[in-house]
Structure formats: structure tokens, C-alpha cells
């Protein structure tokens, strides 16, 4: 009897109070993921097993799983071999949440400019130290796309500019800085869309991006910071001019 009982695996989770059932399920599963007890690719117990372990209904368990999926912590697959699996962290969901918060708080263009001056002048220092050949190639590809688009008279310059700054953020090899830049990507995009098409601004951006890339490739952090500061100061002046024109 004792030997048979020892072969039964201990439940992964404990029962929770019904009043905060769904929330407690989310907290328990999150805790296991953050502690490394559940790692990307691991399959969670089946819905039936989760219901038994938590002592709750399938509806409550499913609600909790949907929350975890929306947070990017798990992925739910249907069909044969399906189930709930711990997701690979890619930062997309976290950045989307930060973006939504910025929009809800009605972050201003001035605040965006200030944030970029603080963050991106620090980014280039790390990039000059840590950028790989793949990072340099990604930035060069964004510049080439912008240059080709301008030469062909394509007014849709914004994606190339955003792509350069995202590639730059990745090259810093600092996930906190990358997620922060990624979170205000949409605000940056919206602001550029209001300012463009403007051929002079497009050419200035291409030239500045190339200078920043050249400084990073040469591991010249001081030069990279100076060019980035000038680049963002120009962006600030353009947004101020656009805001002033709107007030007239």
C-alpha cells in the first residue's frame, strides 16, 4: 500500500479559493514559469487535471488560461497533440501592453522626444560595444531600404526608419532597453507619419542613420552618441514645428 502511494506524483498545483479562483490560477502558473519549474515548450496538465488540482470548474480554468495566453506566457494549441504549452519569450506581448498603457495615458509627442533622448543616446553606447555582424547587417538593410524608397519616389519612408531604430535597440543586447524602445514604436510611427513625406527630412534621417551605423561599426561610442543626439534634436525641432502649425 505504502509503495503504491509513493508512485503517485504529487499535484503540481494546490486548490484555490473560489472568490479569487481565476486570479489565483494565473498567479500559481506564473510563479512556476518565473521560477523555472515550467520552461518554454513544457506542456501544462490537461484541463481535466488542472480542474482536479485546483478544485475548480473547466470554465474557471479556461478563463485563467486565456489570461496567461494574452500575457504571452503560454500558447494554446488545438487538435491532436494540443494543449497549453509554456511559450517562448519574445517580448511582443509585453511591448504591446506598454504601448497600450502609453496610449491610454495619452503620452505626448514631447514625452516621446524626451524618452528617446534619454534612452537612445544610451543605446548607441552599448551598441558600439556589443553589436554583432548580424546587427550591423540589419541596420544597413533598413538604411538601404530607405535609400531605395527615396530614390524611387516612395513616400512610405516610416517603416524603414522604425526598422533601423528597432535593429539598433536589439544590438544593445539589453532586453529592458529593447522592450522599452519597442513599446513606443507605435507612437514613434504615428509621429513620423504626420511629419512625412518630407524629402529633406527623409534624406537627413538616411544620412544620420548611416553615420550612427558607421560609428557603431568602428566601436566609436562617443561619435555614435553625438550623432544620435543631433539626430534626435532635429526630430524634436520638427515635431515642435508640426505642433506649432496645428495650433495656428
pLDDT of residue 169: 95
For residue 101, pLDDT over 80 is answered with no
pLDDT, tens digit, 9 for 90 and up, residues 54-93: 999 999 999 999 988 877 789 998 878 889 999 886 655 5
The mean pLDDT value for 186-215 works out to: 83
Domain residue ranges in the chain:
2-86, 92-247
* pLDDT averaged over every residue in the chain: 84
pTM for the model? 0.65
Please indicate whether residue 143 or residue 184 has the higher confidence score (pLDDT).
143
CATH code of 92-247, in short, is: 1.20.120.530
Q: What is the pLDDT of residues 206-233, one digit of tens each?
A: 999 999 999 999 999 999 999 999 999 9
pLDDT > 70: what percent of the chain? 82
DSSP line for the chain: -HHHHHTSPPPSS----GGGHHHHHHHHHHHHHHTTSS-TTPBPPPHHHHHHHHT--HHHHHHHHHHHHHTTSEEEE-STT-EEEEPPP-SHHHHHHHHHHHHHTT--HHHHHHHHHHHHHHHHHHHHHH--HHHHHHHHHHHHHHHHHHHTT----HHHHHHHHHHHHHHTT-HHHHHHHHHTHHHHHHHHHHH-S-HHHHHHHHHHHHHHHHHHHTT-HHHHHHHHHHHHHHHHHHHHHHHHHHH-
CATH code 1.10.1060.10 for 2-86: no
Between 103 and 161, name the one with better pLDDT.
Answer: 161
The reported pLDDT for the residue numbered 32 is 92
Model confidence at 102, pLDDT cuts 50, 70, 90, reads low
What lies within 8 Å, CB to CB, of 234 at 6+ separation is: 204, 208
Question: Residue 1: pLDDT band by 50, 70, 90 thresholds?
Answer: very low
pLDDT digits (tens, 9 = 90+) for 10-55: 777 777 665 578 889 999 999 999 888 999 999 999 999 999 999 9
Amino acid at each position: 500500500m505504502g509503495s503504491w502511494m509513493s508512485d503517485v506524483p504529487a499535484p503540481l498545483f494546490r486548490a484555490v479559493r473560489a472568490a479569487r479562483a481565476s486570479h489565483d490560477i494565473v498567479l500559481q502558473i506564473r510563479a512556476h514559469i518565473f521560477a523555472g519549474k515550467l520552461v518554454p515548450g513544457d506542456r501544462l496538465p490537461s484541463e481535466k487535471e488542472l480542474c482536479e488540482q485546483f478544485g475548480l470548474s473547466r470554465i474557471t480554468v479556461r478563463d485563467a488560461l486565456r489570461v496567461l495566453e494574452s500575457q504571452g506566457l503560454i500558447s494554446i494549441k488545438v487538435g491532436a497533440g494540443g494543449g497549453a504549452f509554456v511559450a517562448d519569450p519574445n517580448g511582443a506581448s509585453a511591448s504591446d501592453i506598454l504601448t497600450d498603457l502609453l496610449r491610454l495615458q495619452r503620452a505626448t509627442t514631447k514625452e516621446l522626444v524626451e524618452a528617446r533622448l534619454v534612452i537612445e543616446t544610451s543605446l548607441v553606447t552599448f551598441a558600439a560595444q556589443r553589436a554583432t555582424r548580424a546587427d550591423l547587417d540589419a541596420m544597413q538593410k533598413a538604411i538601404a531600404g530607405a535609400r531605395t524608397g527615396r530614390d524611387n519616389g516612395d513616400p512610405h519612408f516610416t517603416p524603414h526608419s522604425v526598422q533601423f531604430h528597432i535593429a539598433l535597440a536589439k544590438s544593445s543586447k539589453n532586453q529592458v532597453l529593447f522592450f522599452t524602445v519597442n513599446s513606443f514604436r507605435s507612437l514613434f510611427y504615428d509621429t513620423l507619419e504626420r511629419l512625412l513625406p518630407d524629402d529633406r527630412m527623409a534624406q537627413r534621417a538616411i544620412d544620420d542613420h548611416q553615420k550612427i551605423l558607421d560609428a557603431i561599426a568602428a566601436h566609436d561610442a562617443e561619435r555614435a552618441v553625438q550623432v544620435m543626439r543631433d539626430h534626435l534634436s532635429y526630430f524634436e525641432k520638427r515635431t515642435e514645428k508640426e505642433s506649432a502649425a496645428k495650433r495656428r
